[in-house]
Amino acid sequence: MSEPVVTRFAPSPTGYLHVGGARTALFNWLWARRTGGRFILRIEDTDQKRNTPTAAQQVMTDLRWLGIEWDEGPDVGGPNGPYCQSERRDLYDKHIRQLLDEGKAYYCFETSEDLDVMRQEAETRKTGFIFRRPERSPSEQDAQKARAEGRPVTVRFAIPQDVPIVVNDIVRGQISFNPAELGDFIILKSDGFPTYNFACVVDDRLMDVTHVIRGQEHLMNTPGQQALWQAMFPEAPLPQYAHMSVTVSDSGGKLSKRERPKALRTAIQALPDLDTARLAEVGGIGEEEVQTFLAGESVPDMPAIDAIAKHIGVHLPEINIVDFCKSGYLPETLVNFLALLGWNPGDQREVMTVEELIESFDLTRLTKSNSLFDRQKLVAFNTEHLRMLPGEKVLGYLKAYLTEVQSPLLKADDETLLRIIRLCEGARTLEDIDNKSRFLFVVDDKIEFDEKAVKKVLLKAGALDVLHVVRDRLATMDEYTEQALEEMLRGLAEEKQVGLGKVAQPLRVALCGTTISLSIFDSVNLLGKERTLARIDAALERFHSQVQSE
């Protein structure tokens, strides 16, 4: 029997979970589930300068929101722990020592300035910079002396130069690399922490990883990692590699974390009255940081980015998993959509359940060509998954979403929310459901009127006159059923020989403050007679003087 499949996802805790990282985790998880294998979560936190305290927990929260659970990991344990690399330094030190003792690695003492000079010399020669190993490897005594002198002491791996390094990739086939063009790379930094390229090889071997499924950008790391594996574990079979295609944004270029800050910068620069002090206050950052951000010299943390975007009323493109959650997408949608970026089930299916994805998943169906992150398609998928899911499950997601955005809809009981969900059939996102119905749970005299909606609808000639008539007829109605309301409004439209919109839209804006709501019949029915009349009266009083002045 072949050995059981073991896959892993190994994020660095430097920020939120990006959709690219989520796709990597998903493919590894799907393959483990498809084959009955194990899926490991490992936190690669050896870069002490870039780690953030809450990032690892946020990554785990985001993965669980997607429904991706791990068999081994930081909070579930397992036989191969610890699962944070910062807690595995004794294991790395042991293997560093082994490589040094066997002459497969050597100490280096170059400063960053020394390396800059080497790079400049290579640039002058118009050749790529490749670190060349010394004729004599420094001894342990040399390393101790360098440390005493305050010089940085690192360890580099001596890449074997005798034969080409051949990588067999499931997606890209056989790829040969000339070791002379790779150069000896650092495996232990001067702070005593291992580099990514070294630690991941040790961990993959000690955790029995059989498949390394990751993005195409890691392909150039593979020959060095493969050489390291064979130097340390010559008897162990290499893991199978599969490098996924690049995902490109619908705005062009690789889908990047920079899209959100870039979109915000553009929006701020277009503001007619730019108040950097106010933006700094809203974002909880210094005014100088706002100015360097606008100059393209820095990027604030995502909470500051999100807060400023909300303040100026701009919708930023979703990039991190938490962004999609806050925009009202379902986890089933993201899983379905991400799975089809660089993979297909071999037939015409697109909208698929998690169970169907697991049953169909096969690494041989990963594609080489770039995949497009088509946001319109994502919205279509979400619309379909909202339709497919049972109401009770949508209710659970909706309540979590409402809590996240602190919507007034939180005041509604489950029965009312289920009714709203049914009335919002065809909604694209949970945000749509919230936007269409939140007016119901706002205090009547606290309605916020959208200026564009008021100007376009209520301030149009004759609109308030129509609203007066609608108000009078509503006041005389005994029944506020959807059917009775529809008959009244349609009858009034026919009477005045106008489209239903000319009657319904002024009523909608008066009740909701915007042109977005449930159907006007459902809106009036849910508000009830007393609240409906009170809101119409308030709108008539508020906007009557504006019409007269114009």
Asked if 217 and 264 sit in the same domain, the reply is: no
**Helices 19-35 and 331-339, interaxial angle, to 10°?**
80
What the block records as the tokens of 295 is: 């100059």
Asked if 530 and 505 sit in the same domain, the reply is: yes
Domain C-terminal end among 318, 336, 365: 318
Is residue 257 annotated as part of the catalytic site, yes or no? yes
Contact 287, 277 (CB under 8 A): yes
- Domain hosting 538: range is 442-549
Whole-angstrom distance, CA of residue 331 vs CA of residue 353:
11
Whole-angstrom distance, CA of residue 217 vs CA of residue 225:
14
Asked if 299 and 446 sit in the same domain, the reply is: no
Whole-angstrom distance, CA of residue 260 vs CA of residue 324:
13
Task: Tell me, yes or no, whether 508 lies in a domain.
Answer: yes
Contact 335, 357 (CB under 8 A): yes
Antiparallel, parallel or unpaired: β 105-108 and 173-177: unpaired
Task: Tell me, yes or no, whether 415 lies in a domain.
Answer: no
Asked if 514 and 456 sit in the same domain, the reply is: yes
Asked if 131 and 181 sit in the same domain, the reply is: yes
pLDDT at 547: 62
Task: Tell me, yes or no, whether 62 lies in a domain.
Answer: no
Whole-angstrom distance, CA of residue 521 vs CA of residue 507:
10
pLDDT tens, 162-196?
999 999 999 999 999 999 888 899 999 999 999 99
Domain C-terminal end among 298, 318, 338: 318
Model confidence at 129, in pLDDT bands (50, 70, 90)? confident
pLDDT tens, 471-484?
999 999 988 999 99
Which is catalytic among the residues 145, 254, 257, 368? 257
Is the pTM higher than 0.85? The answer reads yes
pLDDT at 39: 98
CATH number of domain containing 488: 1.10.10.350
Task: Tell me, yes or no, whether 327 lies in a domain.
Answer: no
> Among all chains, which residue has been given the structure tokens 């944004």?
249
Task: Tell me, yes or no, whether 413 lies in a domain.
Answer: no
Contact 423, 433 (CB under 8 A): no
Task: Tell me, yes or no, whether 76 lies in a domain.
Answer: no
What the block records as the tokens of 148 is: 């005493």
Contact 284, 307 (CB under 8 A): yes
**Tally of residues, the chain:** 550
Domain C-terminal end among 220, 244, 268: 244
Give the number of domains in the chain: 3
Residues 6+ apart with CB under 8 A from 174: 166, 167, 168
Asked if 137 and 160 sit in the same domain, the reply is: yes
Residue 348 dihedral angles phi and psi, to the nearest 5°: -90, 0
DSSP secondary-structure letter at 432? Answer: H
Contact 346, 305 (CB under 8 A): no
Asked if 269 and 148 sit in the same domain, the reply is: no
Task: Tell me, yes or no, whether 44 lies in a domain.
Answer: no
Which of 29-38, 47-56, 234-243, 476-485 shows the lowest per-residue confidence on average (mean pLDDT)? 47-56
CATH number of domain containing 266: 1.10.260.40
Task: Tell me, yes or no, whether 162 lies in a domain.
Answer: yes
Asked if 289 and 240 sit in the same domain, the reply is: no
Asked if 168 and 217 sit in the same domain, the reply is: yes
Asked if 273 and 174 sit in the same domain, the reply is: no
**Residue 257 is assigned to a ligand binding site:** yes
CATH number of domain containing 193: 3.40.50.620
Asked if 120 and 223 sit in the same domain, the reply is: yes
Asked if 117 and 210 sit in the same domain, the reply is: yes
User: What one-character-per-residue DSSP string does 226-246 give?
Assistant: HHHHHHH-TTSPPPEEEEEPP
**Cβ-count burial 224-252 (b if 16+ within 10 Å, e if not):** bbbbbbebbbeeeebbebbbbbbbbbeee
